[in-house]
Each structure stands twice: as structure tokens, then as C-alpha cells.
Structure 1
Amino acid sequence: MNKINATLDDITIRTDLMPGDLGYVIYRHGELYHSEYNYGISFETYVGAGLYEFYSSYDPAMDRVWICEHENKIVGFVLLMHRENNAAQLRYFLIEPEYRGIGLGKKLMNLYIDFLKEKGYQSSYLWTTNELYSAASLYKRHGFELTEEKPSTAFGKPLMEQRYDLINVK
């Protein structure tokens, strides 16, 4: 993995969706998770279905995307999707490998938590897998706790899906 010569100051973060963004995020999730974790095409279709659901119920007052760009290229992405009972779901957190380790993940998590508070959400949750150690560590540092695990073959191989919850957003 080649590290990019960039700092957080070199990366812009926008919160408006533009044509091509959702398709690109689906593509990068499929390609990246296949190369790093050997996930199958079922993972890519899962991401596509979830992004369709997000956009179909998109409410700019309650939902948000954070799209990180460097030199006109998407290098990171995460979204907040409103759910029932004043809850939000964190989905599709992705940072390109060469941009990891510069604090972009922490910055995105802080933006996510700030938006939760601003909109008065009471809780948030996310689903991940047991293989994403760095991601789980980041979520835990921001107050998320592992609340559920279930065996799965949904992404083309056996693994454990994990749910993390952030209760009582303050």
C-alpha cells in the first residue's frame, strides 16, 4: 500500500450528493472489500441495496453523507441514515488505504457524532464484521459498544456480523 503525501488540510469534505457518488461508493466497496477481505459480489449488491434504501428515504434534515475528496477523487465516505425511534445508522464507512492513518477516520467519526447531537438523535448503531479490527477500534473509541454477533455467509464467506450501539448520545 502506497501512502499518499497528504494531510487532513488537503482533503475536502462535502455533504451534498452528486451524480456518480453512489455508484462509485458501491464500486469501491465491492473492489476494496474483495481485495482486502475476499468478500464476494454479494457484498457489493448489499451495499447497492442499502444505498438505494438510503436515497429512497433521504431527508436532508435528518440524513447526511460525508464525502472526502483529494485532487478531485473520492478518498473516503460515510453516511448517517435516520431510523425509527430517534435512532441513526452509520453505514458505508470507507477510507481508501493510502489515506488511512492521517486522522481522516477520526475526523469523520467526530462529524458523525456532532451531527447526531445537532439533530437530537438518542442512539446510533452500525453493523460490521469481526474482520474489521481497525474499524471496530475506532467505533469503540467513540463510545460504540458491541451488542450483538451472528454468524453469516452473506458476503460470500463465513464470518461474524457484529452490531455496535451508541446509546444516550450526549
Structure 2
Amino acid sequence: MPADQTEVTLRAPGPGDLGWIVARHGVLYAEEFGWGAGFEALVARVIADFAAGSTASAQTPERAWVAEVEGAAAGCVLCVRGDEPGDAKLRLLLVEPFARSLGVGGRLIDACIAFARDAGYNRLTLWTNAPLVGARRLYDRRGFTLLDEEPHSDWGIPTVGQVLALPLR
């Protein structure tokens, strides 16, 4: 089926999906960027915090999506409470290699932006890393701007962390 006719659906995570998010991040980022177990541990902490707090407060809602292409898990993203009042954070965007030309990443980011806006957040922030140029292009197209960047070697490979933000109001 041509890419423009491939059906991409977004859904809430079901049983096993949070574990899948951790596992796929660990495998893909090790294969593609050489990032070590510390990265997978970070993803596991984000998922554990999400699972523990996603229903904690109706005033600051959180949400996650799993993208599917023809019934196969193809990507994910989370929208969680941010560090500052009024902020939400886009976390853990991942698109499987087989789905990277199908618009999955854009659909996930757009869902996160719409949810954050509808939930009453004022700003959506995210932390990414310089090697993730495909994701960065998607963020830039949606109006995210660079707030800060800092070199780090948290996962055994030197890289540059970048903080981006999108005003929602």
C-alpha cells in the first residue's frame, strides 16, 4: 500500500504497551545511536512516573498514545505535566523505522499538542538530543523553538541535549 494510503491510527496504551515503549526505546536508540543502559533506565523512570501519576490530578491531566500501522505498533508519545506551572512536556516520541515515512511522528506530535492545548496548558516543552534530526525537523515545522542546549554524555556517547518549547496560548 502506498504511504499516502497507509492507515495510521492512534490509541491509548493497553496492557503491555508501557513495557513495549521502554523496550523499543532501549533497543532502537542502542542500535541507532549507541546509547547505553542509562538511556533505557531514563525511559523506564518516565514511564513509571507516568503510570503512577497519570490519574493523580484531574487539574493537570496526562496522556499517552501508541500509533499503529496496519495493526502493528509503529510509535508512541506521552504528554505529561511540565516542570513549571502551566507547562506540559512532550516525552518519549518514538517512530519505528518501518513507519518513518508514513507521517506517524507528525500525527503523534500533533495529538500531543492538541491534547496539551485542550487540557489548558500554556506551553509545551520537550528535551531532545542533537542526533535526532528527523524528530527535530518535525518539531521545528510545528513552531517549537530552541530554548537551551547543553553537551552531555549521560548514555556513554557525547551528544548535545536540547530544550524546545511551543507556546499554546
Tell me the TM-score normalized by structure 1: 0.89
CA distance in 2, matches of 1:14, 1:153: 34
Q: CA deviation at 1:151?
A: 1.4
Residue equivalent to 1:135:
135
Q: CA deviation at 1:5?
A: 5.7
Q: CA deviation at 1:82?
A: 1.5
- Over 3 Å counting, the alpha-carbon distance change for 1:36 and 1:148 in structure 2 is same
Q: Give matches, 1:60-99, under 5 Å.
A: 61=58, 62-83=61-82, 84-99=84-99
Contact 1:47/1:92, CA 8 A, preserved across alignment: yes
Tell me the TM-score normalized by structure 2: 0.89
Contact 1:8/1:104, CA 8 A, preserved across alignment: no
CA distance in 1, matches of 2:70, 2:85: 39
Residue equivalent to 1:121:
121
Q: CA deviation at 1:70?
A: 3.0
SS of equivalent to 1:47: helix
Name the aligned partner's letter for residue 51 of structure 1: I
Contact 1:43/1:156, CA 8 A, preserved across alignment: no
CA distance in 1, matches of 2:138, 2:9: 21
- The reply on whether 1:155 has 2:158 as its aligned counterpart is no
Aligned length: 165
Residue equivalent to 2:9:
12
CA distance in 1, matches of 2:27, 2:46: 17
Residue equivalent to 1:45:
41
CA distance in 1, matches of 2:106, 2:25: 20
CA distance in 2, matches of 1:79, 1:93: 7
Q: Describe the superposition over 1:113-155 as per-residue Cα deviations: whole angstroms up to 9, x where unpaired.
A: 1112211110011111111111111111111111111111111
CA distance in 1, matches of 2:90, 2:63: 10
- Over 3 Å counting, the alpha-carbon distance change for 1:117 and 1:8 in structure 2 is farther
**Percent pairwise identity:** 36
Shift >4 Å, 4+ stretches:
4-9
CA distance in 2, matches of 1:18, 1:103: 22
Residue equivalent to 1:146:
146
